[in-house]
Amino acid sequence: MIEARGLTKRYGDKLAVDGLTFDVRPGVVTGFLGPNGAGKSTTMRMVMGLDAPSAGGVTVNGRHYHDLPWPLHEVGALLEAKAIHPGRSARAHLQMLAQANRVPGRRVDELLELVGLTSVAGRRAGKFSLGMGQRLGIAAALLGDPDVLLFDEPVNGLDPDGIRWVRNLLKGLAHEGRTVFVSSHLMSEMALTADEVIIIGRGKLIAQRPVGDLLDQSALGFVRVRSPQMDRLVAALDAAGASVTVEDDGSASVRAMGAAAIGDLAADVHAVLHELSPQSASLEEAYMELTEDSIEYHGGQPVGAPAGGIR
Amino acid sequence: MTIAATSPVATVPRRQLPPGRYRLTDLMRSEWTKLRTVRSTMWTLGIMVVVGIGVSALATAETRAHWSTMPPPTRLGFNPVSTSLTPLFFAQLAIGVLGVLVMSAEYGTGTARATFAAAPRRVQVLLAKTAVFGVVALVVSEVTAFLSFFVGQAMLTAPARHATLATPGALRAVVGMGLYLCVISLLALGLGTILRHTAAGISVFVGVLLVLPLIARALPNSIYNSVLRFLPAQIGIVIITNSSRAHSFSVWVGFSVLCCYAVAALVIGGALLVSRDV
């Protein structure tokens, strides 16, 4: 469980993170989405106690990170690809972390095996590819078998196999009941991995909701309808309060009315349906829609507005 | 704490955590692993030992070769102890670089994030580094000082004058030089902690040791005489020549001043470590 309350980070007169309040629950993968520069990494560093909030706060399992007696046993994080001394071997990197929190030495070998680095464990990490560095970072995050996990852009630099591997790993960790918090600027990636998303833009919370709801609530979703009796159907739909757009290809896009209601109405007016297909917006579109709103909304405000806005 | 409406599918059984919390000894073990698993440690310490002993051998061999042609006053003033130990003022640059690296490499490579995530009480990390690196530096410095002394004296065959550890003041000079090197390297660790940048740390370290004396020399005599005693280099010279000099602290007062520099750098570094973001 990660709980942020009015979390704020100010650099000079720029608010990188602006009054974020959210909960990251155990048992699900929570995606942390936002355009580059939205404040995702800064937020994660504040969770990890690396950056001090300018206002507000964040706790992990009910405690500030600084007060965790055995941090690696409670929280694991992959914050940056290849944050490893290039001259140190993968095994030595994990070993020095394990020793700092009394993680048993055998965990090091178990994790090297799990992430597939056993054969190169003795090689200097400077020779690692970005993908190998990412795997080592994931191994470091899992070292203390923590029940809260943070991953900052974990699939960066991975090949398709690696991406699938990370995706399954994250889901598996959440299924075991762990808290899994994953940042990405790619909505498409989160669509496949996350159960719930927290979306931020310019450091402010835009939305926190299940991935499914994000699509349902998007204004971009519609039902495509085709009918030989299109004129009659469109008139009836209009009368029933739906918003109808007739497309160039002769189909109609119906908004603000569900497929079932449209089908019923078509039967009432004796219109034959050749197509009745709900088109959900892609998550990407829903995401763009949301972030656009935020930019429009904040467009008129001076940068550096008062802290701790959203509560 | 708010409890979410949707409860998790399964919960991780609460694992058995070790009792208490992570301790300084855990961090020291971690720091020891860090120190011995990078090549720069062996390189810098190796260079210090080789340069110290090598240059000592050269300097003393040179003296021996010209002994017969040296004017009597020069022979009389010849100090076999300091001649064999002076080369360590070059060697100190190597161990100083390592001292800077012990902290700056954490930031240069991004390891600092992992380090301070594992141990959010950052002052403890600095203490662990100081203890582990301090002991390593002390052992290697003393070994280098003693070897330089022995090799240097072995070169000074008759008729040149040589010293033994039994020579009055010789043991103190050798042990003192080892201590000097150790404290200098901890000063470097403090600079590395303050500056967090390898090149900046090394530059300032070299500046303090080599450039400050040059600047001081350019000052008017009255000022020079009053600041000279505070220079680390001057303190070192007093230690190896083992003589009271004008405008200088005595051996142990000088050494205490040097310790104050190192402690001050480490305390400032520790305070910045706590107040700055990683």
Q: Where are the domains of chain A?
A: 2-216, 222-279
Q: Does residue B121 belong to the interface with chain A, where contact is any CB pair within 8 Å?
A: yes
The pLDDT of residue B276: 96
**Of B68-82, B95-109, B142-156, where does mean pLDDT reach its minimum?**
B68-82
Over residues A280-298, the mean pLDDT reads 66
Of A65, A140, A147, the CB nearest to B120: A65
> pLDDT of A93-102, one tens digit each?
999 999 999 9
Strands lying side by side in the sheet with A204-210:
A75-78, A148-152, A179-184, A29-33, A196-201, A204-210
Check CB contact under 8 Å for B120 and A66.
yes
> pLDDT of A163-196, one tens digit each?
999 999 999 999 999 999 999 888 778 888 999 9
CA distance A142 to A65: 17
Confidence of residue A243 (pLDDT cuts 50, 70, 90): confident
pLDDT exceeds 80 at position B8: no
- Phi and psi at A149, nearest 5°, equal -130, 135
CATH code of domain A2-216: 3.40.50.300
Could you give the dihedral angle defined by the CA atoms of residues B196, B198, B201 and B206, in that order, rounded to the nearest 10 degrees? Answer: 170
Of B10, B22, B110, the CB nearest to A177: B10
Q: Which helix (H) or strand (E) element contains residue B117?
A: helix B111-118
Measured between CA atoms, the residue of chain B closest to residue A61 is B1
The CATH architecture to which A222-279 belongs is 2-Layer Sandwich (3.30)
> pLDDT of B249-268, one tens digit each?
999 999 999 999 999 999 99
Average pLDDT, rounded, for chain A: 88
The pLDDT of residue B258: 97
CA distance B75 to B164: 18
Confidence of residue A119 (pLDDT cuts 50, 70, 90): very high
pLDDT exceeds 90 at position B196: yes
- Phi and psi at A258, nearest 5°, equal -80, 165
Share of chain B above pLDDT 90, in %: 86
* Contact yes or no for B137/B95 (Cβ under 8 A): yes
Check CB contact under 8 Å for A99 and B39.
no
**Contacting residues of A for B29, CB less than 8 Å apart:** 99-100
Distances (CA, A) of B133 to A55, B28, B29, B31: 37, 9, 11, 8
Angle at A82 between CA A81 and CA A88, to 5 degrees: 160
Over residues B213-220, the mean pLDDT reads 91
pLDDT exceeds 80 at position B14: no
The pLDDT of residue A115: 93
**Of A252-261, B1-10, B49-58, B108-117, where does mean pLDDT reach its minimum?**
B1-10
Sequence letter at residue B221 = N
> pLDDT of A5-50, one tens digit each?
999 999 998 999 999 999 999 999 999 998 888 899 999 999 999 9
The pLDDT of residue A282: 67
The pLDDT of residue B179: 97
The domain locations on chain B are: 24-275
Q: Across the strands, what pairs with A243?
A: A255
**Contacting residues of A for B31, CB less than 8 Å apart:** 96
* Contact yes or no for A82/A137 (Cβ under 8 A): yes
